[in-house]
Structure 1
Amino acid sequence: MFFSLIGINVKNSLSPVIYKYFFLKSNSKINYKKISIPYKNIYLIIYYLRKNIISNITIPYKKKLIKFCNYISKNSYYSNSLNLIILKKNSLYGYNTDGSGFLKNFTKINFLKPLKIFLIGTGGAGRSIFNLLKRKFIIEKIIIYNRTLINTKKFIKLFNISKISRLYTLNKKKKIKNYILINTIPEIYVKKIIKKLIFKKCISYNINYKIHNSLDNDGVKMLYYQASESFKIFLNER
């Protein structure tokens, strides 16, 4: 039985280590492969999707592969991205477990309710996370920082957000108090944003998992819970 991680530059991914733990725990005999495919070879990816029983999908294909799926989950629809594709009865089923992986770790952190959220990035991960937060908690305020205004407007419309503080540029220092800062963009970009913020009684969460993390909580546990949710879906579908 074949299980793969498909993306670009996946050699340093922690996913194989985590999934091998799940395989051992469930006594599953599964061969896990890391497959790095150049961006232009989209049909080579389709070949692997049809060859593997289950595929983890990472950057830059999380949005690109939706149109090739026969079915997608509700969270994949709202996030317009996926990180898991399962081959079942010759059909491709797409899922997104970014939000559920984040939520499982997030609920273990002490925070004030209702939520005040400072969201950096409105891409697939940001949408997936916000979709589940909105369903689970009351959100009092949200500040959005995004590199493009048009994507921010799409995000506001998708989730029907009425009370929002829109923040498109950070030309001067800004005080942020009692907010939960959630970063969903690469670490290299977020450092410049953090320098413009003055935090007071805030919790910060970075979905990236890097050694030199600029925020309080990194994405290692989220990756673990995300993989756990994906593995559960796989066990239920096979």
Structure 2
Amino acid sequence: MKKLYGVIGSPIQHSMSPLIHNDAFLQLGIDAHYHAFHVLPKDLEAAVVGLKALGVAGFNVTIPHKKAIIPLLDEVDNTALKIGAVNTVVNENGKWTGYNTDGPGYVAALKQITATENKHILIIGAGGAARAILYSLVKEPGAKVDIFNRTPEKAQHLIEEFSLQGTSRAVTMAEVVGNMPNYDVIVQTTSVGMHPHIEDSPVQIATLKKNAIVSDIIYNPLETDLLKQAKLKGAITQNGVQMFVYQAALAFQYWTNRVPDVHRMEKIVTERLGGTTC
């Protein structure tokens, strides 16, 4: 019998998850189907019960349900609890178990372009994506992470919550500008620069050092203004497509114990967004 997987969120109609997961099932000869389910916040509890009743084998969770779903699950992985968000749910012998693949997926994507040990890193933003990425990045040996947020108190709270006072700092815009030549990696986690506001940029990078890594988790547009400016400075840039596909690949592995072709996933997403791949 064909297994059913999916993603729940609101809005959900533009999700590219069905494209990459259904293609991966086909490529690996797995008899399964992945479907996007539009679930409003008021219907979340009923949806979780209904998905279990239907015998759904697993599903992804996206905005606005990543936090709200936690108390509705039978078990939650420790990483997801620390991050405070679940983006992947697995049906484990009739029990819903929640995981978070956003942070590990981001680090896996970053490792495609650079080693992550002993890096001085700037994270821009202190929201849900920043939480997941910070939690995973600080596990890398020798990582030193600064956080810039428009509300400095929110960045400081995040540092204290994760007990990172010895390795992380909440920095002001002036400190970001002053420290810019020292950063090895800059990670942009906010919505600044996303379509339709494609001319916006969260920070100025005039003194960015050559060969720094600038990573923006936005993938619409494929190249934000921040990435354009970084490229002009000689930086190595990465958009959000790789994070998207690596977190998806980890979810796929949780469900099937099979490893999908991540590069094929990346090609599908990039081409759908109007870009080209090598």
Instruction: Please state if 1:235 is matched with 2:232.
Output: no
Contact preservation (8 Å) 1:101, 1:225: yes
Instruction: Please state if 1:99 is matched with 2:92.
Output: no
Instruction: Please state if 1:193 is matched with 2:202.
Output: yes
Q: Post-superposition shift, 1:167?
A: 2.5
Q: Which amino acid aligns with 2:62?
A: T
What does residue 246 of structure 2 align with? Answer: 225
Instruction: Please state if 1:154 is matched with 2:157.
Output: yes
- The normalised TM-score by structure 2 is 0.75
What does residue 14 of structure 1 align with? Answer: 16
What does residue 274 of structure 2 align with? Answer: none
Query: Matched residue pairs, number?
Result: 234
What does residue 60 of structure 2 align with? Answer: 56
Structure 1 segment 1-238 matched on structure 2, within 5 A: 1-50=3-52, 51=54, 52-110=56-114, 113-140=117-144, 142-161=145-164, 162-168=166-172, 170=173, 174-175=177-178, 176-179=180-183, 180-188=185-193, 191-194=200-203, 196-201=204-209, 202-214=212-224, 215=227, 216-236=237-257
**Deviations, residues 167-220 of structure 1 (Å, cap 9, x unaligned):** 25x4798241242111222244793413x4434123211122213532231111
**Deviations, residues 109-158 of structure 1 (Å, cap 9, x unaligned):** 13685211111223332222222222222123x22122444532331123
Contact preservation (8 Å) 2:7, 2:59: yes
Q: Provide closer, same or farther for how the CA distance between residues 112 and 228 of structure 1 changes in structure 2, counting only shifts above 3 A.
A: closer
CA-atom RMSD in angstroms? 2.6
Q: Which amino acid aligns with 1:235?
A: T
Q: Which amino acid aligns with 1:145?
A: F
Q: Which amino acid aligns with 1:193?
A: P
Q: Which has the bigger relative contact order, CA under 8 A and spacing at least 6?
A: 1
- The normalised TM-score by structure 1 is 0.86
- Structure 1 or 2: more strand by fraction: 1
- How many angstroms apart in 2 are the aligned matches of 1:134 and 1:18? 29
SS of the aligned residue for 1:174 comes to helix
- How many angstroms apart in 1 are the aligned matches of 2:152 and 2:134? 18
Contact preservation (8 Å) 1:6, 1:55: yes
